[in-house]
Structure 1
Amino acid sequence: MRFKRILTATAALVPLITLATACEDPDRAAPRPAGPAAAGAAPAPAAPGGTDRAPASLAEVQAYLQKFTSCERLGTDPNDSRLPATDDTKDGDWAVTGRGVCTDVKRHGEILIYLVSDMKTFQQAYYDHTMKEIGEGNGEFGIFSRTIVGKGFVAVPAKTGTAVDLVASDLRVLTCNPGFSVPAGYKKEKPLVDHCGLTDFVSSKDGEGSRNLEVPHDPSTEGAEKPGQPATGSLGLASAGSLAELKKLVSPHTVDCTSMAVTDEHVESIDYQPVVGREGPRAWGVRERAVCGQLGGAQRAHDLNWLDTVSDMKTLQSRAKAAQLADLADDGRLRATASKLLVGTDVAVESNNKDVRFGLYQLQFLYLNCETGFTAPAGYRLERAQVEGCVLTNFER
């Protein structure tokens, strides 16, 4: 592969944001803390200098980071050897006005620093890039994010321990992978764009991140522990007492229910096929049922999604399992027009739109997967279903 050095402050951050994963050195990583990074820590100022303004220089950011970790030998020269090289440059997409690098001498790793003129633009670019990576088959992208945002700047440490030190302040990890979940005991805050999250939980493959106090394991086996899984029960699922509550929960950014019809009739189209079959919702354990989207007429039906309140979740999952296995029997894959069943504790949504499902995962819905031998990569949720041979997950192949 041919590499060239980034020479401008507005060069693309694709390789820079992934640097933290690429440059991990578990042999020299620092010990993880005894509990959540934020526990007992006094809130830090919202910006360098104790003000609510964005920093005016990289040196100002450096001084702020030094309150929480080592950040020595600040460099702003584009030829600084500590800056990464890349063969993928693209200007102007991330609202970056300056960049530099300092060294965490305690953790033996670098910290990339960016001044950002418009944080919403930066976060949207990061979300778009995450979706692109996932769409191209990199389903783990962003699960182990060390993209840490402040007011008007972003820090990307190469070492997990540095990230844990930084989030003990008001700085937060930005993650946009729908498979990312925040364990109990850590903060989960809303960023400037939809379908992302800000948290003081640092997830890491090297085991040096924030402690998951839920003692996770893989519920499909009795084997070794697996990050992201609950020891018993569930990490939490969506719930609603009525169709009106369910509509409010999933609207407006996840499921477009501007047009919604409450009906027991079987509604489908050539492009949108629900999970619940023609026998009717009652036979599937569904109490109330609605369809959102344009049902067709003069134009073809489009954007159909089904909302269900569930009186018998085991019956719903049992019937959905049978339907899923029948669909998989021919060629081992689901039809593109077939919806996937995403469930909560007493509600469900059926959708064949990947973007809709990504939003639903953020709302703590999980997909019922009954493929033989299925398992999810580390970092994704994997919980017991109410029927044998199935699991609930936010990972899709």
Structure 2
Amino acid sequence: MQAMDSAARHTTALSERIRAAAHDKTPLRIRGGGSKDFYGLKLQGELLDTRALSGIVSYEPSELVVTVLAGTPLAELEAALAAQGQCLAFEPPHFGAHSTVGGMVAAGLSGPSRANVGAVRDFVLGLEMINGQGEVLRYGGQVMKNVAGYDVSRLMAGSWGTLGLITEVSLKVLPHPVAEATLRFADCSQQQALQHLNHWGGQPLPLNASNWLQEDAQSQGTLYLRLRGARAAVHAACLRLGGELLNAETTAADWRASRDLTLPWFAARAADHCLWRLSVPATAAPLPLPADATGPFIEWHGAQRWVQAPRSAAATLQQLAQSVGGSASLFRAESPHQISGISDFDTYAQSSAAGRTSAQIHARLKQAFDPSGIFNVGRLSANW
């Protein structure tokens, strides 16, 4: 009860500060642990820290639902779930020890198992937020339905704090898989890996995550495949697919490193290269990358491809991704202390009719939730 009273006081204080900022047209920068400050066009405004809103409000393991305050450390939530044999199945990246639950939802980023289990937004059941007028609003199946037709609780996933301040979120959780195995397929070219993944994806196999990379110039490449599910299903899949069965303890650490982009492939990035994220159809063929690019590092069964390339490669990478029906965005800048500085949202909006329509919808949503334009100004778009 005391924790709930404390949360209510902090929420009231934040609401009052936002109301005053809206009146004075003072930009506010929403920030939890700051683990994702590397992403976006720019960071500006008075800091609005969410970390005082910390703690698990309610947790019903038998119902597979947890409600958490937004400033709660992500590691703390995962530890509480693990104690009950449960987890966040979408494996949210941490990018640092101070990552928070609110930041996880606002960023909308998912880990290696995204292609199999779904994204962050698929696990958001409801939330409480403060809009740009200082109003505390609740959305979700148990509370209210947005009359405009939007599932607002899921709309906030990936909004990067541009629509409002998340104060509390309810999430669906899942039991830890009963069995897990990682298979390694050496001397596997990119083309072969994509063919394997597309073929296996159409079969009743417990595929959960995959990585492909060329670890050195002498090899064609290596495909790593993670299986999760019932013991019989995982065992049968291992026998059927072949490959080399790897040590479970070692691979657990490797998959966490894959989640947080700290594998040696990412750490070896050249000083003048940025990290680019290409989102493409899983069935897309290997892309002819620029000569000065390194990669790709492929995950999500082919749908997410990381490339290391200089900033000057922006147009080429965007054209390549768009040619197969995807998109490219600058995820990390050259320096770890620098934000990306490219408005990928605006670039997408200018590239096609669909992009322009999407931008118009986003602009209307921004006007509805933050009419004074005070939240995370310039984070996603140069225009708001």
RCO comparison, higher one (Cα < 8 Å, 6+): 2
Q: Whose helix fraction is larger, Structure 1's or Structure 2's?
A: 2
Larger Rg: 1
TM-score under structure 1 length normalisation: 0.26
TM-score under structure 2 length normalisation: 0.27
